[in-house]
């Protein structure tokens, strides 16, 4: 019998990679998707199966983590062997604007799912994965951070995730549920949401190179993150649910990099050298060199890259009221107990993202150079 997985947050970055991963392993995958006024299934459209097909492996259900009755019904209908709770208002900065909603979806949403398992008597059958986060560490207590490092959350998002972390531990201890927290450090990919810093950078780098935009505004350039690839990290999620005993694991690469260096690396991938100068709000990134052979090889018109051009400026609007300055994870436990090893290093991640955005942005450049104009429906 094929195993059944229910993924909340299936339309998000991790949901899409995990669905792909589980389908390849023969799982029947059910996903919880929110209703939205526009299509929100771009990342999983390639997995879609017509509802009229028999023996479907992939099924979507409308639902929301803020709606307990709907979660109970979907868990009852799907009878999952594994639930991956990936749904969340996942943007740290946005959580300062929507703190109550974030607490409801990210904190109480986790409780609602755990209660659904308990109330339906699925405790012996159903394993539960909670998407915990390195944001729990917040204000630096020690580095590298591991499963024993104390938490000090620094945003409404992280505080909501702290509740979710402990309620998962509590249900494991109180009701003997097989429930695990994956304390995942930042992980990115070509399908990362466009407002997270890495994707914002790689998109802008591609657009600047193709002459579609001239500069990029960022916030805190000195923040340091331990960035891995989402493709590697969804494997760790699955491994956590395949063990004899449920436990919590840190998943990270162990290497940290500043936002500033991520910018430099992304431009360098296209042969463009950028140097930063100035401090705080006045810091800027300027083009100091360009490798014309590399630009030609990539089909980027050299005329688009101007020496001395300011390509990065700081906009304090992107600063956070309280920041997490430094994250470096120690994934020794995951390596030893799960046998998990990331395949992508930071260079490979940057390459994957920059080239994907370059490919994607060419479409816009072609349309623009061909004279295509969108219709204005509102005139
Ligand atoms: P995304 O923001 O890409 O995806 C979040 C998903 O949650 C989307 O499918 C979104 O739907 C859905 N969602 C949001 N609110 C609700 C709600 N109220 N009810 C149902 N679904 C909802 O996040 P990622 O894929 O990057 O992250 C997955 C999980 O892992 C999140 O919980 C995140 O907090 C956590 N995490 C992520 C890390 C990372 O670096 N990526 C690191 C550590 C933890 P829609 O598409 O409609 O918006
Ligand atoms: P983070 O990711 O907050 O770590 O949360 P994000 O990419 O948003 O920020 C990383 C760092 O970059 C700094 N930064 C900017 N961030 C954004 N978004 N936009 C900017 O313009 C910008 N300029 C600088 C931020 O201040 C921060 O220090 C992500 C999410 O996926 C969470 O859901 C997850 O839990 C954590 O990673 C681990």
Distance 334 CA to ligand 1 centre (A): 22
pLDDT 10s digits, 209-218: 999 999 999 9
- Which is the catalytic residue, given 110, 133, 168, 202? 133
Distance 365 CA to ligand 2 centre (A): 28
pLDDT 10s digits, 356-378: 999 999 999 999 999 998 899 99
End-to-end Cα separation, the chain, in angstroms: 57
Domain count, the chain: 2
Q: How many CB atoms lie within 10 A of CB 80?
A: 24
pLDDT 10s digits, 18-36: 999 999 999 999 999 999 9
Give the ipTM. 0.99
Report the CATH number that the domain containing residue 104 is assigned in CATH: 3.40.50.720
Average pLDDT over residues 57-77: 97
Strand, coil or helix: 109:
helix
Distance 189 CA to ligand 1 centre (A): 14
Cα–Cα distances in Å, from 36 out to 49, 61, 63, 266, 317?
20, 13, 11, 33, 27
What pLDDT does residue 298 have? 97
Query: Does 160 share its domain with 300?
Result: no
Query: Does 19 share its domain with 47?
Result: yes
In this structure, which ligand is nearest to the CA of 12?
Answer: 1
What pLDDT does residue 231 have? 98
Residues 6+ apart with CB under 8 A from 354: 202, 205, 206, 266, 269, 270
Distance 89 CA to ligand 1 centre (A): 6
Atom of ligand 1 nearest to the CA of 65: 19
Report residues whose beta carbon is within 6 angstroms of any ligand 2 atom: 90, 92-93, 133-135, 185-186, 195-197, 200, 218-220, 223, 225, 259, 318, 320, 323-324
Query: Does 175 share its domain with 214?
Result: no
In this structure, which ligand is nearest to the CA of 198?
Answer: 2
φ, ψ for residue 257, nearest 5 deg? -145, 145
Query: Does 165 share its domain with 78?
Result: yes
Query: Does 61 share its domain with 103?
Result: yes
Structure-block tokens of residue 298: 């990539």
Report the CATH number that the domain containing residue 287 is assigned in CATH: 3.90.25.10
Average pLDDT over residues 134-157: 97
- Which is the catalytic residue, given 8, 84, 135, 171? 135
Q: Which domain holds residue 92?
A: 4-184
Query: Does 203 share its domain with 65?
Result: no
Alpha carbons 30 and 53: distance in angstroms, whole number: 15
Per the annotation, the verdict on 133 as an active-site residue is yes
Q: Tell the residue nearest (CA) to atom 36 of ligand 2.
A: 186
Distance 135 CA to ligand 2 centre (A): 10
Query: Does 35 share its domain with 166?
Result: yes
What pLDDT does residue 55 have? 81
Per the annotation, the verdict on 135 as an active-site residue is yes
Alpha carbons 7 and 86: distance in angstroms, whole number: 7
Structure-block tokens of residue 365: 């450049």
pLDDT 10s digits, 235-281: 999 999 999 999 999 999 999 999 999 999 999 999 999 999 999 99
Q: Tell me, rounded to whole angstroms, the distance of Cα 224 from its chain centroid.
A: 16
User: pLDDT category, 51, cuts 50, 70, 90?
Assistant: confident
Query: Does 78 share its domain with 207?
Result: no
């Amino acid at each position: 019998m094929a195993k059944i997985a229910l993924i909340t947050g299936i339309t998000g970055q991790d949901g899409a990679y995990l669905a792909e991963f589980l389908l390849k392993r023969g799982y029947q995958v059910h996903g919880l998707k929110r209703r939205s006024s526009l299509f929100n299934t771009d990342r999983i459209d390639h997995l879609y199966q017509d509802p009229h097909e028999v023996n479907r492996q992939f099924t979507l259900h409308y639902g929301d983590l803020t709606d307990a009755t709907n979660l109970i019904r979907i868990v009852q209908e799907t009878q999952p062997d594994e639930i991956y709770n990936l749904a969340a208002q996942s943007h740290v900065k946005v959580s300062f604007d929507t703190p109550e909603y974030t607490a409801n979806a990210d904190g109480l949403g986790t409780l609602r799912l755990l209660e659904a398992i308990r109330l339906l008597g699925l405790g012996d059958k159903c394993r539960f994965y909670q998407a915990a986060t390195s944001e729990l560490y917040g204000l630096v207590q020690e580095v590298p951070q591991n499963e024993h490092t104390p938490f000090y959350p620094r945003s409404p998002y992280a505080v909501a995730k702290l509740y979710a972390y402990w309620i998962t531990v509590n249900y494991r201890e109180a009701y003997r549920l097989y429930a695990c927290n994956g304390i995942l450090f930042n992980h990115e990919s070509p399908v990362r949401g466009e407002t997270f810093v890495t994707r914002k950078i790689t998109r802008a780098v591609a657009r600047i190179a193709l002459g579609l935009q001239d500069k990029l505004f960022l916030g805190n350039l000195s923040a340091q993150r331990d960035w891995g690839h989402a493709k590697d990290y969804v494997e760790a999620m699955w491994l956590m649910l395949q063990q004899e005993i449920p436990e919590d694991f840190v998943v990270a690469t162990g290497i940290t990099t500043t936002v500033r260096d991520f910018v430099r690396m992304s431009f360098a991938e296209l042969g463009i050298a950028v140097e930063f100068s100035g401090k705080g709000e006045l810091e800027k990134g300027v083009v100091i060199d360009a490798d014309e052979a590399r630009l030609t090889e990539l089909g980027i018109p050299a005329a688009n890259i101007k020496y001395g051009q300011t390509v990065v400026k700081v906009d304090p609007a992107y600063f956070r009221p309280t920041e997490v300055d430094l994250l470096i994870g120690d994934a020794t436990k995951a390596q030893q107990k799960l046998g998990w090893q990331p395949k992508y290093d930071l260079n490979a991640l940057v390459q994957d993202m920059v080239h994907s955005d370059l490919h994607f942005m060419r479409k816009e450049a072609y349309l623009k150079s061909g004279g295509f104009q969108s219709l204005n429906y509102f005139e």
